[in-house]
Structure 1
Amino acid sequence: MVAAEEESVTVIIREYEPEKDCQKVEEVERICEVGPSGKLSLFTDQLGDPVCRIRNSPTSLMLVAEIAVGNSSSKSEREIVGMIRGCIKTVTCGKKLSRNGKTDPPLPIPVPVLTKVAYILGLRVSPSHRRMKLGYKLVCKMEEWFRQNGAEYSYMATENDNVASINLFVDKCSYTKFRTPSILVQPVFAHRVKVSHKFTIIKLSTYEAESLYRRRFSTTEFFPRDIDSVLNNKLNLGTFMAIPSHEKWVGSDNFLSEPPESWAVMSVWNLKDVFKLEVRGASVLRKAFAKTTRVVDRALPFLRLPSVPEVFRPFGLHFMYGLGGEGPMSVKLTKGLCGFAHNLAKEHGCGVVATEVSGREPLREGIPHWKRLSCDEDLWCIKRLGEDYSDGSVGDWTKSKPGLSIFVDPREI
């Protein structure tokens, strides 16, 4: 716990205590604006548990900021006015070349370089207590815990036009603008999306999915070393592969040794049971138009009209992650997987299906989305807390160039 005096107000930063802090933290969450008008914004915690967004991470912590006016030291007179969440994991930060001794001559193969990273999310400060450096104090205290637990980098994500957040992290906390992935959001219509019969979609077993990801994605930036924990999590709805219909699926081992010319893969994460979203600031006319499109879509589903779902009230979503593929048909196969994911989300009563990919992602053209609901440039900022593993392969990760793809961990959404 740390305390600081500022104009007769004592600021206390301590670890979150579920039994006594839950209700007060939820109150702060509700009064904080978390998204621009007309865009998706965090509404409420579906599970009524403020730490549910980090409990699936291997190592996590939540801190709260309290104030006590004057010289009062009574806990009953303290007020929670801010909070921050953080988690730590090991991910891929680059790759090096190693020689494969099984071939003659030995061929170079890419090997992932790993680092321990920390992720900051859910930083909130009550509007009535801003400009008191509470955000700065919360970040500094969280970084202290990161260092104590061996994290080498800390990173966070924010909207590209969130001036206050960028000023805090970049100008005051010495973070560097690092990556600008895109958040792509597709509404879930009243009708089912048609998936081409030219594709076959297979649900992989957890073993098959882990083997595929480790063999094909382990050198992708931000790939989590504990991918098995992600795939075995109850929020993971499955990993799905699309191949041309004339190809036969003969198991993951054969696929890895002799993959078809074209293929695509993705996993689906159920965020509907974690939190809910809503679109704020829409006019009465826009809401009326949206309702009309839904009525027509339900009455005439065979027309497959792009109806606007009920997104002006809290709704759930599914998140697609681990997207990848190869071959001349990979973009079309990805589109087929997205259609499959849409229909799965419809069955679960979701309002949208979303994903986040690198701005340079080759499969991006196969991901249907509505620009109005999406974010072309989500901003990831990073800070170096310690030294890299000393193999000389990567150096300072904060200065590295982005790759074509990025692995977005669904536990951090």
Structure 2
Amino acid sequence: MENRCEVGPSNKLSLYTDLLGDPICRVRNSPAYFMLVAEMVVVGGREDKERREIVGMIRGCVKTVTCGTKLSRNGKNGSIKTTEPVPIFTKLAYILGLRVSPSHRRMGIGLKLVRKMEEWFSDNSAEYSYMATENDNQASVKLFTQKCGYSKFRTPSILVQPVFAHRVRVDNRVTIIKLGTADAELLYRRRFSTTEFFPRDIDAVLNNKLNLGTFLAVPKGSYDAVSWPGADEFLAGQPESWAVLSVWNCKDVYRLEVRGASRVRKALAKTTRVVDRALPWLRLPSVPEVFRPFGFHFLYGLGGEGPNAAKMIKALCGLAHNLAKDHGCGVVATEVASREPLKLGIPHWESLSCAEDLWCIKRLGEDYSDGSVGDWTKSPPGLSIFVDPREF
């Protein structure tokens, strides 16, 4: 089914997924997940025997995420009270991987799959459901917005950087520290728990075997692996600028393949790789082998503070590129809010990226979140979002 259904923007080359293992592998790391398939009874053959053919599939998961903030006053025993935002959590469902066989489209199969999945969401007390699609995928957009009651919600950007044959130089004015899981969790909860879509079970994400590590960038001379005091002390006296990101190994879950390229385009891409390998000091931006199945790493949890935070993110992306090269990946990808301030520091190729991914959302029932956020579907977008790597 995955091989028969192309994904990706229609104005680009066709992108196909090549799953490793069972088809539910992309959501099975979530707290609650489910998969449905649609079968068609086919009669044929010499003896007119009946056989069942899978003509559609859908996957979904339910988790708890940040949907807004409220103000909380701190201070005891006569101390000065300060007001700071604290997260409001809600139970959110996510639809992933809706596929209908090209030969069985326009038969209502997709609509039936979505409605059955939403029944499961409601049975698991989900308050909202959302899905992601390409802005120019009119069939998908019409299905969800016109027939299923979803509304357009957020338009983040998917940024993709090819992995070159040469290593990327990391700014020597930046020190990069690999954080332990406990420090990474503390940093994320203290600084990013109020970010929209932040998963309440961030500890499960960071402890997952597909997580390759969390990396912190600081100005050279601030800290190093030896003098690192721990996340608690770091946050109490952080440097003027810093940045952080985590790396998720999608290569061990599924692979991608670009199809439909002409022989000329393939030949030109191969030439750039040959020259890059032969003359690495030229640092030629070569095109990786994307016309056969390739793996990739996903960068998530991007954030930081200070006037040089974008430069810090660029250094972290350089380290992530080199890590992906060591793992034999074809590209490095991330997804950020369209107005994300750190976006300027993320290297990417526009020809491989998607300027506007489309997230649609639907309110399934009353909002029982931890606080009063009203109707989340009507809330304005913030500067940042937290993209869960388990759903990418």
Q: Which of the numbers 119, 134, 143 marks the counterpart of 1:168?
A: 143
Q: In 2, are the aligned partners of 1:38 and 1:279 still within 8 Å (CA)?
A: no
Partner-residue secondary structure (3-state), 1:67 = strand
Secondary structure of 1:265's aligned partner: strand
Q: 1:390 to 1:285 in 2, by over 3 A?
A: closer
Which residue of structure 2 aligns with residue 107 of structure 1?
Answer: 82
Tell me the CA shift for residue 40 of structure 1. Answer: 6.8
Q: Which residue of 373, 378, 381 maps to 2:352?
A: 373
Aligned position for 1:87: 61
What is the TM-score when the length of structure 1 is the normalising length? 0.90
C-alpha distance 44-261 of structure 1, shift in aligned 2 (>3 A): same
Name which of 191, 194, 202 aligns with 1:227: 202
2:130 — aligned with what?
155
Contact 1:192 1:343 in 2 (8 A): yes
- Name the amino acid aligned to 2:336: V
Residue of structure 2 equivalent to 1:5 = none
By how many angstroms is 1:78 displaced? 2.5
The unaligned stretches of length 5 or more in structure 2 are 44-48
CA distance in 2, matches of 1:222, 1:93: 6
- 2-side partners of 1:88 and 1:66: how far apart? 25
Question: What is the match of residue 60 of structure 1?
Answer: 33
CA contact (8 A) 2:13 2:261 kept: no
Aligned equivalents of 2:313, 2:34: Cα separation in 1: 36
Q: Which among 10, 13, 16 is matched to residue 42 of structure 1?
A: 16
- 2:369, 2:99 → 1: CA distance? 36
Determine the structure 1 residue equivalent to 2:286.
307
Alignment partner of 2:155 out of 180, 200, 206? 180
| CA distance in 1: counterparts of 2:188 and 2:95, whole angstroms | 25
The amino acid of 1:357's aligned partner reads V
Distance 1:189 1:391, change over 3 A: closer
Structure 1 counterpart of 2:364, from 365, 385, 395 = 385
Contact 2:174 2:219 in 1 (8 A): yes
Aligned residue identity for 1:264: A
RMSD (CA atoms): 1.6
Offset at residue 117 of structure 1 (A):
0.4
| Residue range with higher mean Cα deviation, 271-280 or 144-153 | 271-280
Shift of 1:104: 3.2
**1:303: how far off?**
1.4
Cα separation, partners in 2 of 1:137 and 1:407, compared to 1, 3 Å: same
AA of the residue aligned to 1:55: R
2:323 maps to 344
Q: Which amino acid aligns with 1:234?
A: K
Unaligned runs of 5+ in 1: 1-27
Contact 1:158–1:379 under 8 Å retained in 2:
yes
Distance in 2 between residues matched to 1:392 and 1:322, nearest whole Å: 24
Q: Quick check: 47-56 or 369-378, which moved more?
A: 47-56
C-alpha contact 2:197 2:387 (8 A) present in aligned 1? yes
Q: How many residues align?
A: 382
Contact 1:188 1:346 in 2 (8 A): yes
Picking from 221, 239, 243, the partner of 1:264 is 243
Percent same amino acid at aligned positions? 74
Write the distance in 1 (CA, Å) between the matches of 2:375 and 2:318: 40
Deviation track 1:195-244 (CA, whole Å, cap 9, x = no partner) reads 01100000000000000000000000000000000000000000000000
| Shift of residue 253, structure 1, vs aligned partner | 1.3
Change (3 A) 1:144 1:100: same
Kindly indicate whether the alpha-carbon contact (under 8 Å) linking 2:170 and 2:315 is maintained by their aligned counterparts in 1.
yes
Paired residue secondary structure (1:403):
coil
Tell me, yes or no, if the aligned pair for 1:276 and 1:314 is still in contact at 8 Å.
yes
User: 1:8 — aligned with what?
Assistant: none
Structure-1 separation of matches of 2:369 and 2:34:
28
Alpha-carbon separation, structure 2, partners of 1:330 and 1:82? 44
- Runs of 4+ aligned structure 1 residues displaced above 6 Å come to none
Whether contact under 8 Å (2:90, 2:370) holds in the other structure is no
CA distance in 2, matches of 1:76, 1:239: 52
Shift of 1:388: 1.2
**Which amino acid in the other structure matches residue 162 of structure 2?**
P
Q: Aligned letter for 1:348? A: H
1:273 aligned residue: 252
Q: How far has the Cα of 1:38 moved from its partner?
A: 3.4
Q: Distance in 1 between matches of 2:27 and 2:16?
A: 15
